[in-house]
């Protein structure tokens, strides 16, 4: 029987996360599985506890394509990092919330041991989430950068004192141009992240759509938009703009945008796969995460 290789994603900034990582790794060892750590995590954790130095390292001892699953100890930021690590493997990601307010984590820390046992028993389902494909073209139309995003791609001004001027294009047709601090192009998964803070709509994960939200736009028509999942959204930095911009994807990958640069965002052909143990209504997740008031509800009629 082939060895099962499971990535554990954690960092050493919180003592409870270090303890949780040791418990997860010990449970995997006892089940005959091979726990794996990414190089930065192994280095950080080994500085805290030498036992982590004995764990297999991703990319050196184990290739991403051989991973069965990633267990993530942390909040949404750590889960986004894990999704980046397993992007080329298709391995699903299981998030264990370590006290952060996040929407991607499947369970809370109190259920961690039971969750690991279910992973070992392969007692989980896999949910696919739409991701974005992101390309940057220069003024000559040459693709100079390509990446992807699970939550959002944002075009932002690079200098605090200067806004950028952009023109928005949907499916090859110009929609509007204006000065702004930036633009957010979000998936349903990312609709409760930057998109939400920018005044964009919350989109249920079962709805396939792309949200386009201006940031502090100086324009009469600069409202949030929701377009179909197969739409192409382009944001072009007008050559007359006085400021430069920067592209950020999931807050993790960036690329500078000079005047004339063009960012094209489409649905990616490869979704991100999330491991799920408990089917949870998204409404309940919203109420719990945002502590929404529901007192007085009399129940469904």
> What is the set of active-site residues?
76
User: Residue 173 class from Cβ within 10 Å (0-12 exposed, 13-18 middle, 19+ buried)?
Assistant: exposed
Contacts of residue 162, defined as CB under 8 A and 6 or more positions apart, other chains included, come to 242, 243
Compute the distance between CA of residue 119 and CA of residue 114 in angstroms, rounded to an integer.
9
109 in Cβ contact with 99 (< 8 Å): yes
């Amino acid at each position: 029987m082939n060895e099962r290789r499971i990535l554990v994603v954690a960092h050493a900034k919180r003592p409870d996360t270090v303890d949780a990582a040791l418990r997860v790794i010990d449970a995997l060892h006892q089940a005959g599985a091979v726990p794996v750590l990414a190089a930065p995590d192994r280095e950080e954790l080994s500085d805290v506890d030498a036992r982590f130095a004995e764990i297999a390292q991703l990319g050196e001892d184990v290739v991403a394509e051989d991973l069965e699953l990633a267990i993530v100890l942390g909040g949404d930021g750590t889960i986004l990092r894990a999704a980046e690590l397993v992007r080329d493997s298709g391995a699903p990601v299981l998030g264990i919330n370590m006290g952060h307010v996040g929407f991607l984590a499947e369970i809370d820390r109190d259920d961690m041991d039971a969750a690991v046992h279910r992973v070992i028993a392969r007692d989980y389902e896999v949910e696919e989430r739409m991701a974005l494909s992101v390309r940057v073209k220069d003024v000559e139309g040459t693709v100079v950068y390509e990446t992807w995003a699970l939550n959002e791609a944002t075009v932002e001004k690079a200098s605090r004192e200067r806004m950028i001027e952009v023109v928005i294009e949907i499916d090859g047709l110009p929609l509007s141009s204006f000065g702004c601090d930036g633009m957010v192009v979000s998936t349903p998964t990312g609709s409760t992240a930057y998109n939400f803070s920018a005044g964009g709509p919350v989109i249920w994960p079962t709805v396939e759509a792309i949200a386009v939200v201006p940031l502090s736009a100086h324009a009469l028509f600069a409202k949030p938009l929701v377009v179909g999942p197969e739409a192409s959204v382009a944001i072009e930095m007008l050559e007359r703009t006085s400021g430069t911009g920067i592209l950020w994807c999931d807050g993790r990958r960036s690329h500078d945008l000079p005047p004339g640069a063009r960012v094209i965002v489409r649905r990616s052909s490869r979704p991100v796969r999330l491991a799920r143990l408990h089917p949870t209504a998204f409404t309940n997740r919203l109420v719990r995460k945002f502590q929404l008031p529901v007192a007085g509800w009399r129940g469904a009629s």
